[in-house]
A = this chain, B = another copy of it.
Amino acid sequence: MATNRVTLADVARSAGVSQTAASFVLSGRGAEMRISADAQERVRRAARETGYRPNIVSRSLRTGTSHTIGFVSDTVATTPFAGHLIWGALDAARERGHLLFICETEGDPDLERELIDAMHDRGVDGIVLASMYTRKITVPRALINGPAVLLNAVASNRSPIPSIVPDETDAGRTAAGVLLDAGHTDRIALIGAAPPRQTPKGSLAAVQRLQGIAETLDRAGVAMLDAIPCPEWQPRSGYEATRRLLEKTTPTALICFNDRLAVGAYQAISDAGLEVPEDISVVSFDDDLIADWVRPGLTTVALPHYELGRKAVHVLLDGGHDRSTGADARPAIHKIAMPLRTRDSVRVVAAAASEPPPGPGEVLGSPGPREVLGPSGPREVLGQT
């Protein structure tokens, strides 16, 4: 810090009023506190001419609000895919005049406690506790020392802290809907579906995506052809599962439970001498980087990282009022829509019966009414050097 910062006392002296008056004027309470228009003008001019900026540290000491938020993540911060969580939080914080402390716990509970405490020591207005993938977590005790929200996570223990998570169930509906809308009313198989026990620890995506898919297919009276579980959601597993599926039967559409599984599925389909989407359509989840790299581009239901980050900050800053809405004591769980990214992996077989006939210009691609575009898409990812 430079030693020559202009203080409120300087401004007051230069305007010929008391520090109190200057404070009132600059905090917008001039009229309310009956400061004359003339004096107000003098104060404002002095502030402008001296380049006065209020010292937030001292304000924070007195008022207890620091215009600062803590962002504590397990490993999100330096992870390529979910850096958008931070980006959204950063943007929302800036819009509302806040700055973000960011740190990583690396999954270590002691470190987590230490970092949360360090943030409280610095008087943060609240803490965003973020998880790299959507899951249940046990809320650390240190968090109760102030306002907080859970980002990409829900509390496994009882806790009054609100959560922000992607709407995975609706994503399941969207994925199934894409196929239905494109006229696939038969021979739809699932890659990566797993009974709840076989799912990554605490992960919610597997269960909820399946639920949304099943609900939508049921409602349309479409039976599932098959559902192959995968031990882990990696390309290799997707490859194995799809190969086994193709040995048994011939699907015309696949719903893969994430993009990495879908990449494996692509490989297996190709190995079987078939093509996407001519022989088999593929829909998936996440909108991983690879979804745009594979050919044909993968139609997928995107994790709305940017929006999740934004929402977390907004809920945190507007927080506490959640409890007044409704009489239930359970903490709010805010679900963020997962937008569909339409690419080239779904073949349009026929317009869906339930859809209005397509207009002249929109024969191909058929996004249909299910497409939900995120309020602002991610920026292009840049290379290094």
Q: Which residues of A contact B (CB under 8 A)?
A: 1-2, 53-58, 60-61, 64, 66-68, 75, 77-84, 86-87, 90, 94, 99-104, 115, 117-124, 132-134, 145-146, 200, 203, 205, 233-234, 258, 260, 285-286, 288-289, 303, 379, 381-385
Contact = CB atoms under 8 A, between A and B. Distances in A.
A14 to B, nearest CB: 20
Instruction: Say what secondary structure dominates the interface of chain A.
Output: mixed
Given A61-B61, A383-B288, A121 B84 contact: no
A51 to B, nearest CB: 10
27 contacts: A1-B120, A1-B145, A2-B145, A53-B117, A53-B120, A55-B61, A56-B121, A57-B66, A66-B122, A75-B382, A77-B86, A78-B84, A81-B383, A82-B384, A86-B102, A99-B101, A99-B103, A99-B118, A99-B122, A101-B102, A102-B102, A132-B382, A133-B384, A133-B385, A205-B385, A233-B383, A303-B384
Nearest to A66: B57
A84 B80 CA distance: 10
B118 A55 contact: no
Nearest to A303: B384
Contacts of A58: 61
B1 A146 contact: yes
A68 to B, nearest CB: 7
Copies held by the complex: 2
Given A82-B384, A87-B78, A100 B99 contact: no
Contact of A381 (B56, B67, B80, B203): B80
Nearest to A209: B385
B102 A56 contact: no
A113 to B, nearest CB: 12
Contacts of A86: 77-78, 102
Nearest to A64: B1
Contacts of A384: 79, 81-82, 132-133, 258, 286, 288, 303
A123 B124 CA distance: 14
Contacts of A90: 77-78, 102-104
Contacts of A104: 87, 90
A36 to B, nearest CB: 29
Contact of A385 (B2, B120, B233, B381): B233
A117 B52 CA distance: 11
A53 B383 contact: no
Given A86-B77, A103-B94, A121 B288 contact: no
A385 B56 CA distance: 39
A385 B99 contact: no
A57 B61 contact: yes
A54 B288 contact: no
B57 A122 contact: yes
A123 B286 contact: no
Given A78-B83, A90-B104, 13 more contacts: A1-B120, A55-B121, A55-B123, A66-B122, A77-B87, A78-B87, A79-B381, A79-B382, A80-B83, A80-B289, A80-B381, A99-B119, A286-B385
A338 B135 CA distance: 38
A55 B124 CA distance: 11
